[in-house]
Amino acid sequence: MPELPEVETVTRLIRPSVAGRTITGTYVGWLRTLGGSTKPAFRRAVSGCCIATVRRRAKHILFDLERDGKAAGALAVHLRMTGRLYVERRGDTPAAHVRVALDLDDGKSLQFHDVRKFGRCVFVKDPDAFLAHLGPEPLESGFTTQVLWNALRVRRRQLKPLLLDQDFLAGLGNIYVDEALHAARLHPERRANTLRKPDAARLHTAIQRILRAAIERQGASFDTFYRTPEGQPGDYQHEFQVYSKTGQPCPRCGATIRRWVVGQRGTHACLRCQRPPRPPAG
């Protein structure tokens, strides 16, 4: 599933093509993509609206809409496993696997392509309320080491499932959690409340450094599905230290990288760099 760097890349690349454009028509090829809305209701909500801004929140791409200069809700797109957004010249019939297409006033079409039908493109009246449950953005200035440590030390959950929890921290997924924990030398099963402040500082630094580096490389194409709006793969998969490296030597210490399941998610780590937590006394 695309994570923060991939979704941020799509947001940045799609924005110049659609910001300021007016939606003149809609096509819906798979009703469940709309998240429970009917086709007529969806058309009424978005047709004639101007796409004022395009922004990311966690793993969602938000198209803020305006009608007659006033806020008119937003489209919230979640790519899930196989979703892709792109803009192309409007044709008579959308291509196979296009679930939603929005005709624009410049003769082009914003298209949501999703082979496995897991993604969503929903209209929401209040996007901030719709996403209010999400945790802080890890690249915003307000997300400091102190903020992270304060949140960690009051939770007893294992680090890997906690960092994957979007209500705790927005945007991270399996890839970047594994990479950040390895960079911070923290075991995925360590309890959050056992971290000292220097541990939290290393984790904070690792999360921000890795996310920024991945955005610079336009994300990671670890399978055939993630592509930028231009159809190009990301490049950060060549920088992976542990993710998908099972059985290979750790680039830092040379020990064999292991894979096992933590919180129902495949997990990769070096058990020499990331020492397992001690069992409870007794």
State yes or no: is 70 an active-site residue. Answer: no
Q: Is 254 left (phi over 0), alpha (psi -120 to 50) or beta?
A: left
Residue 222: the pLDDT is 75
Average pLDDT value for residue range 114-141: 97
d(Cα 201, Cα 184) in Å, to the nearest integer? 9
Set 259, 265, 272, 277: catalytic member: 265
Give the active site residue among 2, 94, 138, 161. 2
Task: Yes or no: say if 56 and 87 are a contact pair by the CB < 8 Å rule.
Answer: no
DSSP letter, residue 279: P
pLDDT tens, residue by residue, 186-204 = 999 999 999 999 999 999 9
Q: How far is CA 110 from CA 31, 40, 107, 156, 192, in A?
A: 17, 19, 10, 44, 42
Residue 3 among the catalytic residues: yes
**pLDDT at residue 282 is higher than 60:** no
CA 232/CA 221 separation, integer angstroms: 9
Q: What percent of the chain has pLDDT over 90?
A: 91
Q: Is 223 exposed, middle or buried (0-12, 13-18, 19+ CB in 10 A)?
A: exposed
Take residue 121 and report the two structure tokens written for it: 């493109």
pLDDT at site 23: 98
Give the mean pLDDT of the chain.
95
Averaged pLDDT, 201-218: 98
- φ, ψ of residue 6 to 5 degrees: the values are -70, -45
Q: Would residue 265 show up in a list of annotated catalytic residues for this protein?
A: yes
Task: Choose the catalytic residue: 57, 59, 84, 99.
Answer: 59
CA proximity to 14, closest of 170, 121, 126, 117: 121
Whether residue 106 is predicted with pLDDT greater than 90 in this model: the reply is yes
User: What is the pLDDT at residue 280?
Assistant: 59
- Over range 260-276, report the average pLDDT: 97
Domains and CATH numbers, the chain: 4-130 (3.20.190.10), 145-270 (1.10.8.50)
**pLDDT tens digits for 7-26?**
999 999 999 999 999 999 99
State yes or no: pLDDT of 70 exceeds 80: yes
Distance CA(110)–CA(220), nearest Å, equals 23
Alpha helices in 153-272, H assignment, sequence order: 159-164, 174-183, 197-216
